[in-house]
Amino acid sequence: MTAATKHPLTKLCRKFWPLLLLCAATCGCLSSDQPSLVLDPKDDDLQPRLLEPLRFADFSVSGIITPQGVERLRREKVRSSGPDTYEFLAHPTTEQYIRTETVDQYLAARAAGYRDRTTVDLTYESWFIEVSKVLQFMAQAKPAQSNTMTTLGFEQLPMRLLNWWGPENTDVRPDGHPPGETIGDYEKAGRLKRMRIGANRLTVDYHHRRYVVSKSACGDFDGDGYMDLLISVAYYYIEGSGRGYYQLVVRGSAGHRPHPVNPILELK
């Protein structure tokens, strides 16, 4: 090969470079078995962004995602626990299962009345519950004007995140969490067991359940200018097979604490 001869990889890179730039414009940071491609080096503290990676079948996404990136990711195959775990929604009358691989397919099936029928179905569905809700949050979230939320510890978050029963104005609850009480208040009172806190994840036993609470994303979700947190919650009965999954938005405020009146919004 002479010095003037172009290497085949050079032509290949030039051919696919526009595709790489398109990914860079839409999808924050991608990672897979290949070296990480940092697509937006700017990590603005006020920008909506993922705090935990979103996992798809062939890659994961982290950091800032544009609205165009959200639309693309809705059509990507979601990561699950195996190739045979994508049939978890059954028709309400025929009980025939439908295969769903993307968020768009999953939401269409739910809108058509398909539902999980067993605990195993719900376990497989949990991958789609989380990804669809995170993308819903990212599609609506805007840059914030003030951010006091991403530095909050789990101890400062509302206790109502655990054993969620509904909006704040329906305060008829078996456990009766007062609106102002925090996870830290319950921990100090000795009402929580086996509490372990990581960078973006809390594991704790409470009320016969084991909770795994994650800070999934942040952004100004409700349009008031303050940074909000998207919290993903999974719980499992300690002495049983029951489980559940849900996502809640903890609203920010001017102080270094959640909104004092209505701290939690429920994603519909």
Query: What does the pLDDT look like over 68-84, one tens digit per residue?
Result: 999 999 999 999 988 88
Q: Are residues 126 and 224 in the same domain?
A: no
Q: Are residues 114 and 158 in the same domain?
A: no
Domain count for the chain:
2
- Residue 10 in any domain: the answer is no
How far apart are the C-alpha atoms of 231 and 253, rounded to whole Å? Answer: 16
**pLDDT for residue 256:** 73
3-state secondary structure of 172: coil
Contact predicate 220/228, CB 8 Å: yes
**pLDDT for residue 263:** 78
Find the DSSP H helices in 112-178. 119-140
How far apart are the C-alpha atoms of 103 and 58, rounded to whole Å? Answer: 15
Q: Are residues 158 and 238 in the same domain?
A: yes
pLDDT at 213 over 50: yes
pLDDT at 93 over 50: yes
Mean pLDDT within 224-234: 93
How far apart are the C-alpha atoms of 64 and 142, rounded to whole Å? Answer: 11
Q: Are residues 163 and 112 in the same domain?
A: no
Q: Are residues 163 and 105 in the same domain?
A: no
With residue 105 as reference, give the H or E element that holds it.
helix 103-111
Q: Are residues 221 and 128 in the same domain?
A: no
**pLDDT for residue 240:** 81
Q: Are residues 133 and 172 in the same domain?
A: no
Q: Are residues 132 and 173 in the same domain?
A: no
With residue 103 as reference, give the H or E element that holds it.
helix 103-111
Question: Residue 111 is part of which domain span?
Answer: 43-140
Cα atoms found within 13 Å of the Cα of residue 180, Cβ hemisphere only: 1
Domain C-terminal end among 114, 140, 166? 140
Residue 166: band (very low, low, confident or very high) from pLDDT cuts 50, 70, 90: low
Mean pLDDT within 200-213: 92
- Residue 28 in any domain: the answer is no
pLDDT at 171 over 50: no
